[in-house]
Structure 1
Amino acid sequence: MRPRLVTGFYSAATLAVLGLIVTSCGTPAPTVTTDQHSALSTMERVMLNANACWFKSADPAFAGYQLAPELNSYTGRPRILVVDKKHPTGRPSLVVQAEGNPAQLQAFGPMMSGASGGRITGDVNRWAAGTKGC
């Protein structure tokens, strides 16, 4: 089974679960479950690909941002943050985090509802499933 972020229409059970995961703007956070990897190994893979494909490639959609990985988490939720280059200590524009084994990922923040939201979802889905590259 290939993991994927949950998008589109939700069943009642899915809405109940996603209702617990709410961003500051009140939008349910998409999730993905991997079958074979821990949260840390999944987020390491996502971080390496995000860095290469979004930042080192000089992608214009990410030009004003920088990657802030937080993989060493005492809460058991390794994550990566995409933050504004001019205000790196401000509120993140994107958070991708995972927990558990098998890993369950969440992606949320203002970038998810912007023009790059669909692309971010697709990229994270591929990378969480083990696909490398852009």
Structure 2
Amino acid sequence: MRALAGASLIVALAFLSACQSAPSRPAPAGAGKSAALRNMEQVAIAAHRCWFAANDPAFRAYSFANELNSFSGRPRFLLVPKGNYGGRPLLVVQAEGASGRVTAFGPLMDGPQGGRISGDINRWAAGSSACSSAA
């Protein structure tokens, strides 16, 4: 009886092991990411590093709200009034489409920093990580 129970256990374990899937391999870096998400990750990292982590005085009145995990196909980040993450966005930077085209809009684009913001975003979207056009 014991031999039969042992044999049944071995058969059951063999059956269960046959149902196991092959171990998954990690996906290559960037695999499965859309061009829009790849572009926005690059732009958002540079914007955060150059504008906020560097304590740039032009951006002290704003908070950085990251929304890269958007399910709309338009990953983006926002600049909102400092500490007011639910406030009306003053700048929206987003990417979309198969090419991952990056656009920016909002009241800050019409203000004194609009030209600088546009230049920074265009430079970062083109692949540079420099904080200023002089660098």
Name the structure 1 match of 2:58. Answer: 61
Kindly provide the CA deviation profile for residues 72-99 of structure 1, in whole angstroms up to 9, marking residues without a partner as x. 1111000010111142211011000010
Q: Which residue pairs with 2:105 in the alignment?
A: 108
Cα RMSD (Å)? 1.1
CA distance in structure 2 between the aligned counterparts of 1:76 and 1:106, rounded to whole angstroms? 14
Counterpart for residue 115 of structure 2 = 118
Give the structure with higher Rg (CA).
2
Distance 1:44 1:68 in 2: 13
CA distance in 1, matches of 2:48, 2:103: 18
3-state SS of paired residue (2:95): strand
Normalized per residue, the structure richer in helix is 2
Please give the alpha-carbon distance, in whole angstroms, between the structure 1 residues aligned to 2:83 and 2:129: 30
- Structure 1 moving runs of 4+ over 6 Å: none
What count of residue pairs does the alignment treat as equivalent?
A: 98
- Of 85, 108, 113, 1:88 maps to 85
Structure 1: 5+ residue runs without aligned partners?
1-36
TM-score computed with the length of structure 2 as normaliser? 0.70
1:44 maps to which residue? 41
TM-score, normalization: structure 1? 0.70
Aligned equivalent of 2:8: none
Partner amino acid, structure 2, of 1:103: G
Q: Distance in 2 between matches of 1:68 and 1:41?
A: 18
- Structure 2's unaligned 5+ residue stretches are 1-33
